[in-house]
Amino acid sequence: MELIIETEALTKRYGKKTVVNELDMKVPQGSVYGFLGPNGAGKSTTLKMLLGLIHPAQGRIRIFKQTLNPKNRLEILKNAGSLIESPSYYGHLTGRENLEIVCTLKGAPKEEIDQALALVRMENQQHKKAGHYSLGMKQRLGLAAALLGRPRLLLLDEPTNGLDPAGIQEIRDLIVSLPKKTGITVLISSHLLSEIDQMATHVGIIDQGQLIFQDSLRALHAHSRCRLHIRTTDNAAARTCLAQKGIAAAEKNGQIILEDASDSSVTRAIRLLVYAGVGILRAEAPQVSLEDIFLRLTGKKVSL
């Protein structure tokens, strides 16, 4: 698996406060990498370090297999588009003129402006002043700017902020379709678990500056199918019986919950209960939501 972004022990401190702590991020080529974490976890700081906007206290960044340094930064970033925090725009210029500036600076052909405008569906508003745009329009303008110059990598910081539901869906579809169409790699940060779930192929979860999980989305979901909920006629008897045989079980909401839901463990537990004369009304392995996974990983409720 080829890595587009690779960081080693990336750290940023402001004064004594460590905002990003020894981050080892690995973004594979062609992936949509969801960078997940609550507000203030260090997502934006990490993205800014990847773009060279702020300097890491320690650690190394490799993008396109080159170690990022002040000299080659712009050469590398030529192949990357970005949208960081609140959108950047010149309020006194039209949307199109804003894109002309980015196009000129990137040295991209002017025809790409029309393509980018079409991609984010802004053709009709391109001659209005950016200062009069709604937040959602500004966000799209920022996305269009990021897409100019046919980048191989897209860094997006909460790109659906401020969009209406239809707009959110559009942007999501666009982001999901990009890697397939153009082979682009997308790194997208969000504090919304459901959003990452819908778009990402890979996930990194950051909390208080530390990367607490990083793998494919499938691996994250695998985390979740490991509990069996059993409804019985006699919970107390069921628990005693399971405890005697050393099978971990808890009771929650009137259900017995088996921590280990592997096939052999389930067969054994059910057989034990049936022999003990406990009636089994229902046994199910509900899909655990990402919220629960997050809760389990961080030990706290995520702020949505």
Residues at the interface with another protein (CB under 8 A): 48, 51-55, 74, 77, 80, 82, 84-86, 88-93, 97, 100-102, 104-107, 130-132, 145
Q: How far is the CB of 150 from another protein (least distance, A)?
A: 15
Q: How far is the CB of 194 from another protein (least distance, A)?
A: 28
DSSP 175: H
The residue among 133 and 294 lying less far from another protein, judged by its C-beta, is 133
The residue among 58 and 233 lying less far from another protein, judged by its C-beta, is 58
The residue among 52 and 136 lying less far from another protein, judged by its C-beta, is 52
What is the dihedral angle through the alpha carbons of 163, 164, 169, 174, rounded to the nearest 10 degrees?
A: -40
β-strand partners of 35 = 189, 204
Q: Could you give the 3-state DSSP secondary structure of residue 294?
A: helix
Q: Residue 128 carries which side chain, given as an amino acid letter? A: K
The residue among 82 and 214 lying less far from another protein, judged by its C-beta, is 82
Q: How far is the CB of 74 from another protein (least distance, A)?
A: 6
The residue among 80 and 196 lying less far from another protein, judged by its C-beta, is 80
The residue among 53 and 250 lying less far from another protein, judged by its C-beta, is 53
Can you say how many angstroms the Cα of residue 285 is from the centroid of all Cα atoms in its chain?
26
> How far is the C-alpha of 95 from the C-alpha of 47, rounded, in Å?
25
Q: How far is the CB of 130 from another protein (least distance, A)?
A: 7
Q: How far is the CB of 47 from another protein (least distance, A)?
A: 10
Q: How far is the CB of 137 from another protein (least distance, A)?
A: 14
